[in-house]
Chain A
Amino acid sequence: MNETSKILSNTCNQIFSDFVTPAVLEDAENGKWPQKLWVNLKENGLTSPFVGEESGMPSLTWQEVFTIFYHAGYYCVPIPLVENVIASWVLSQLDEVLPRGLITLPDGDEILKIHGSENNKKVSGSIKSVPWGSCATYLLAIGEYKNIKKFILLDISNSLKKTDVNIAGESRDTIELDNIVPESIFDIPEDIGDQVIKLLPDLAYSAKISGAIFSALDLSVDYVGTRVQFGRSLSKFQAIQQQLAILASEAAAAQTAAVNACKAVDNTDNLNDIELEIAVAKTRSGEAAGKAAAIAHQVHGAIGFTYEFKLNHLTRRLWSWRSEFGSESYWSARIGRMVMMNDVDCLWPNITSRI
């Protein structure tokens, strides 16, 4: 971990442990926006860490920003932090001045139709699975005008919303767009590509998953150290020790996969390489999420099944995040096709050619 990551890690730990309390998590699940948390993150530059002017810091690498995503997962941060970070990054790449309000991104491949004349473009339609769509001011999405894809920034504050939630109770809303005039429409630069608003959230969700797994590991280690059965603490049972060692290995795998995908985004402009690394990250961290959640619950016993004990906030997120922004089914098929459509003797050279 470099110095910047250490500073980020300290800042995140401070803010999240202060402002993501059990009460805040419960309120968020009941639809209450954690304003204090949001304001604090914004003041500390964590909502748009790539944009130097706002934070007063030099622009960060994705490997450094990984630290923010990781902690967002570790603490179950109940706001669309990664969505806002990524949307800000895209807008900064387009040299667009960041709007003040919260920006979110849709989870999915929906392309919005842009209609109307050249000087009076409008967007109508419905877009599903928008994290915190009902709280966000803006939505960054893909639109299509005369068969050409564009990035569009929409003010959705006055749009009709249908609230839905994932199994962690995180807002996943449907937004009805009725002749909305976009704030901005951008040509998609070739070196960024329209895939970016699917790929980068995938990367961020892998990082969040790895953070949540480490959190579940820490919680489990704590719990088995204090809970006594048969006259000794659970941590002294080999069966428990072996299970937690497996949980640790899954945490390590998820983190490695996510960090290396961040490295790929930092180091290469080759979109195919980036896509493969992110696919690997999401597939491997998703697999780890399932195994880790199962072990964490098994060692916690009945207390982990209660709403009051905080483990469920982590595990319900793990189960949600593994399928959001590209499921394991989707990504493993992508990787499988990349491998199987090629000469199999190129598999090893391909694995080792990426730096």
Chain B
Amino acid sequence: MRAFEFEACQLPLEAQTLRQEVRDFLSQSLGHYTISEKAKSWVGFDANFSAELGKKGWLGMTWPKPFGSGRSSLERYVVIEELLAFGAPVAAHWIAERQSGPLILRFGTEEQKNLYLPGISKGESFFCIGMSEPGSGSDLASIITHAAKHADGWLLNGRKVWTTYAHKSHFMIALVRTSKTTEDRHAGLSQFIIDLSLPGITIRPIRNMIGDEEFNEVTFDNLLVDDSMLIGKEGNGWQQVVAELAFERSGPDRFLSSYILFREIIRILQIDMSDSAVKTIGRLTAQLITLRNMSLSVAAKIDSGKQPNIEASLVKDLGVAFEQSIPELAHELVDCSPRKLHGTEYQKSLAYVQQACVSFSLRGGTTEILRGMVARGLGLR
């Protein structure tokens, strides 16, 4: 039996109707959106836009009623690939809809589902991820933020970092230590939903190299968390996190982050077509189409209830390599320097993607970690 398998995926016919609805909606509601804004891809934040998507019923659409509309993951796939190919500002609801909601749906109590899922599918309730810490990046099991049993629940102390949009989110799902480290490093971890408006939480922005303030340091200082905020089982945090990360390693967000820049490079190259440019664009288009087919194949597997973790890692590895090759393509083929303030929309887009792209192979699991997982699947470790 092979460690991984990619079969051709057939999108259902109704997906094409849905696709057109999404396109019409986007051109109406985001007609004013500039190219350089679109180039920010899924980092663009617009709470009003997320709420509009919620009204359309396009958030949490695969969740069972009454939380969602019980549609297939392939239909959701079509919606998100259209959003990303357009460059729509999806960051506000992105984590909540992609990771937190599915996690709550799978491991949460009925009360938690009733409390949090409606807000997510309305595009009104935003979540962030509390995993990394100053001393724990790829080695997630080494986290030291801990929750101690308390008469009124749990007392949290510690610090999370690289928490994207913590300052604009309502909740965090935090992975914390709930018992002392044992020989099994993965034991003793638990996940809590943290209401970010509570006292005892300090959110400090961390300026990134682009000059933007999107990620944060979040400090818990004797934060009192109610028992009802524990997700899943105490001590089962590691298994839950692994499942959470696997929900979306293979989505279109893993190869479309530079799509707007790719398209604009082609627009410029069309003015004066050289043979070498034509071939390079042909080669990259072949990569793009193949990545989409790989990603669709994983979506179809998830839809049929399988857990294609190795396949998802392979898609992310190749996908981010594609995304990162797009600024390289600009250097190779377009005679034009990036500009941050007053350049053309192309120059501003290039300036953004050139800098942002280093993060593509870090977020959601570094390429090295993913390749390690593939190696394990191949039986090498």
Q: Is B287 part of the binding interface, using a Cβ–Cβ cutoff of 8 Å?
A: yes
Residues of A within 8 Å of B291, CB to CB, are: 253
> Is the C-beta of A332 less than 8 angstroms from some C-beta in chain B?
yes
B279 and A253 form a contact (CB under 8 A): no
Would you call B290 and A245 a contact (CB within 8 A)? Answer: no
Instruction: Say yes or no for B318: interface residue by CB 8 A criterion.
Output: yes
Contacts of A63 in B (CB 8 A): 8
Are A336 and B378 neighbours in the complex by a CB distance under 8 Å?
Answer: no
Which of A242, A262, A355 contacts B375 (CB under 8 A)? A242
Interface residue count on the A side (C-beta < 8 Å): 51
Q: Complex formed: what's the CA distance from A331 to B288 in Å?
A: 15
Could you tell me if B314 and A249 are in contact, using CB atoms closer than 8 angstroms? yes
Report the stretch among A31-39, A113-121, A277-285 that lies at the interface.
A277-285
- For the complex, give the distance between the alpha carbons of A255 and B317 in Å: 16
Q: A244-B378, A347-B266 in contact; A339/B282 too (CB < 8 A)?
A: yes
Q: Which of A249, A259, A331, A355 contacts B282 (CB 8 A)?
A: A331
Distance (whole angstroms) from the CB of A218 to the closest CB of chain B? 9
Measured between alpha carbons, how far is A326 from B135 in the docked complex, in Å?
52
> In the bound complex, what is the Cα–Cα distance between A253 and B317 (angstroms)?
11
Interface residue A227 (Cβ < 8 Å from any Cβ of B): no
Asked if A122 is at the interface of the complex by the 8 Å CB criterion, the answer is no
Question: Count the A-B residue pairs with Cβ separation under 8 angstroms: how many?
Answer: 159
Q: Quick check: is A295 within 8 A (CB to CB) of the other chain?
A: no
B371 near A246: Cβ-Cβ < 8 Å:
yes
What CA separation (Å) do A263 and B287 show in the bound complex? 18
- Report whether A332 and B311 are in contact in the complex, using a CB–CB cutoff of 8 Å: no
**Residues of A contacting B279 with CB < 8 Å?**
329, 332-333, 336
The reply on A328 being an interface residue by CB < 8 A is yes
A333 CA to B2 CA, complexed, in Å: 34
- Answer whether residue A348 sits at the interface, using C-beta atoms and an 8 A cutoff: yes
Which residues of chain B are near A148, meaning CB under 8 Å? none
CA distance A335 to B288 in the complex (A): 12
Let me know if B278 and A242 touch, CB within 8 A. no
Contact check: which of A248, A249, A284 meets B286 at CB < 8 Å?
A284
Asked whether, in the complex, the Cβ of A335 is within 8 Å of the Cβ of B374, the reply is no
With A249-B317, A344-B263 given, is the CB distance from A332 to B380 under 8 Å?
Answer: no
Q: Which of A63, A245, A328, A352 has the most B CB atoms < 10 Å from its CB?
A: A245
Of all chain A residues, which has the CB nearest B294?
A: A256
Query: Is the CB of B200 closer than 8 A to any CB of chain A?
Result: no
- On whether A279 and B286 interact (CB within 8 A), knowing A224-B380, A245-B375, A257-B293, the answer reads yes
Instruction: Tell me which residues from 210 to 225 in chain A have a Cβ below 8 Å from any Cβ of chain B.
Output: 214, 217, 221, 224-225
Within 8 A of B (CB), among A335-350: 335-340, 344-345, 347-348
Instruction: Say yes or no for B379: interface residue by CB 8 A criterion.
Output: yes
Q: Are B278 and A236 in contact (CB under 8 A)?
A: no
Would B375 and A252 count as touching, CB distance under 8 A?
A: no
Tell me if B289 counts as interface (CB < 8 A to partner A). Answer: yes
Contact of B7 among A214, A242, A259, A355 (CB under 8 A): A259
Chain A residue at minimal CB-CB distance from B10: A355
Which secondary structure characterizes the binding site on chain B? Answer: helix
Determine if B280 is an interface residue (Cβ-Cβ < 8 Å): yes
Residue of A nearest to B12 (CB): A355
Find residues 323-350 in chain B having any chain A CB closer than 8 Å to their own CB.
Answer: none
Q: Are B281 and A339 in contact (CB under 8 A)?
A: yes
CA distance A248 to B297 in the complex (A): 16
In the bound complex, CA of A262 to CA of B7 (Å): 11
Contact of A221 with B379 in the complex, beta carbons under 8 Å: yes
Which residues of chain B have C-beta atoms less than 8 A from A217's C-beta? 378
Q: Kindly name the residue among B286, B377, B378 whose own CB sees the greatest number of chain A CB atoms within 10 A.
A: B286
Partner of A257, one of B11, B259, B286: B286
Contact check, B19 vs A252: say whether CB atoms are below 8 A apart: no
Assess whether A253 is in contact with B290, with CB atoms less than 8 Å apart.
yes
- Give complex CA distance A334, B379 in Å: 40
- Cβ of A280 and Cβ of B289 under 8 Å apart? yes
A-side contacts of B6, CB under 8 Å:
252, 255-256, 259
Pairwise interchain contact B8-A259, C-beta atoms closer than 8 A:
yes
Residues of A near B375 (CB, < 8 A) are 241-242, 244-245
Residue numbers in B under 8 Å from A1 (CB-CB): 5, 7
Kindly state the separation between the CA atoms of A352 and B293 in the bound complex, as whole angstroms. 10
For the complex, give the distance between the alpha carbons of A331 and B266 in Å.
Answer: 18
User: Is B278's CB under 8 angstroms from A336's CB?
Assistant: yes
A287 proximal to B (CB < 8 A): yes
> Which of A214, A241, A253, A339 is the one whose CB lies under 8 Å from B266?
A339
Nearest Cβ on chain B to A352's Cβ, whole angstroms: 7
Are A333 and B282 touching (Cβ within 8 A)?
A: yes
List B contacts of A347 (CB < 8 A): 263, 266, 285
Give the chain B neighbours of A84 by CB distance below 8 A.
Answer: none
Contact present for A263 and B8 (CB under 8 Å): yes
Q: A248-B374, A280-B290 are in contact. Are A336 and B277 (CB under 8 A)?
A: yes
Given known A-B contacts A245-B317, A252-B4, A253-B294, A284 and B287 have beta carbons under 8 A apart: yes
The reply to whether B270 and A340 contact each other, CB–CB distance below 8 Å, is: yes
B32 beta carbon closer than 8 Å to chain A: no
Taking the closest CB of chain A, its distance from the CB of B237, in whole angstroms, is 26
Listed in ascending order, the chain B residues whose CB lies under 8 Å from chain A are: 2-8, 10-11, 13, 16, 19, 81, 85, 259, 263, 266-267, 269-270, 273, 275, 277-283, 285-294, 297, 311, 314, 317-318, 368, 370-372, 374-375, 377-381
- Given A246-B371, A252-B314, output 11 extra A-B contacts at Cβ < 8 Å: A241-B380, A241-B381, A244-B375, A248-B378, A256-B8, A256-B293, A280-B286, A329-B279, A331-B282, A335-B283, A336-B278
Task: Supply 20 A–B pairs (Cβ within 8 Å), ascending by A.
Answer: A1-B7, A242-B371, A244-B374, A245-B371, A245-B372, A245-B375, A248-B3, A248-B378, A249-B314, A256-B290, A257-B293, A280-B290, A335-B281, A336-B279, A338-B282, A339-B281, A340-B278, A344-B263, A348-B259, A352-B85
Closest 10 CB pairs of A and B: A336-B282, A332-B282, A245-B371, A335-B282, A336-B278, A241-B375, A245-B374, A283-B286, A263-B8, A235-B380
